[in-house]
Amino acid sequence: MLAMAPPSSAQEMISGSPPASSYYVSLGLFVITIPGLWSLIKRAPRATVKRKVFQVDGPAVEGAMAPGARARQILEYFMRYNYEVKDMGEVITFEGNYRASAGQAASLVAYTSIGLASTSLVLSIAAPWGGSWWYALVLASPAAGWYYWKNAFRTEQMRVKMVTADDQSTTDIVVEGDQEEIERFYKELGLTEKGKIYVKGVLE
């Protein structure tokens, strides 16, 4: 006894077209990929502003760096990276020019290539008349790196404030500015974020 295929399946087998479920998967990939990819490219040149607090030993702790010496250390750090003092007060504002990163540009091109490859896959299923030519879209991925490189140069501000506890046991260093700059700042000065414990890596 021969089993009869469901009408929809039989029609797909006769027509040679892919099952309807593949179109829904393709549509889902398209909806997820395109807006996310465009958002990634637009946000790449912009600064990601963060605010972090680092804690060091205060004046009451034996062997701790004096507040004045700590302030000079921070000033020398920013001057070394061509920042200028924009405002002096309770909060010190440093201003400098941010330059595009070749590594970030390369990463953006790679992410865009993956996104366009996914889009090409969707189009090859939803619009098979284009065949393999849809994958030529991947050749446009270097344009994302060019867009980032053209728009990444900007004036950057970093704000720093030092607050010493009443018992002089600790000093908080509050830093606000670009996330990448904050990461470089605390790594070079050997600071630890407040509430966290530094653990040495295996290779250190």
- For residue range 87-105, what is the model confidence (pLDDT) as tens digits? 888 899 999 887 777 887 8
> From the CB of residue 201, how many other CB atoms can be counted at a distance below 10 Å?
5
Report pTM. Answer: 0.58
pLDDT value, residue 34: 67
More confident residue, 15 or 109: 109
Token pair recorded at residue 29: 């990939």
Q: Is the pLDDT confidence value at 15 over 60? A: no
Q: Between 173 and 29, where is the model more confident?
A: 173
Tens digit of each residue's pLDDT (9 = 90 or more) over 108-160: 888 888 888 878 887 787 778 888 888 898 998 898 888 888 877 778 889 99
Three-state DSSP at 48 gives coil
Q: 23-56 pLDDT, tens per residue?
A: 556 556 666 666 767 776 776 656 678 999 999 9
Nearest Cα to 180, choosing from 41, 42, 46?
A: 46
Residue 7: count other Cβ atoms within 10 Å of its Cβ: 8
Q: What are phi and psi of 62, to 5 degrees?
A: -65, 130
Tell me the C-alpha distance between 157 and 78, whole Å. 11
**Contact predicate 99/81, CB 8 Å:** no
User: What does R_g of the chain's alpha carbons equal in angstroms?
Assistant: 27
Q: What is the pLDDT of residue 26?
A: 59
User: DSSP state, 89?
Assistant: S
Identify whether the C-beta of residue 34 lies closer than 8 Å to the C-beta of residue 117.
no
b (16+ CB within 10 A) / e for 143-164: ebbebbbeebeeebbbbbebeb
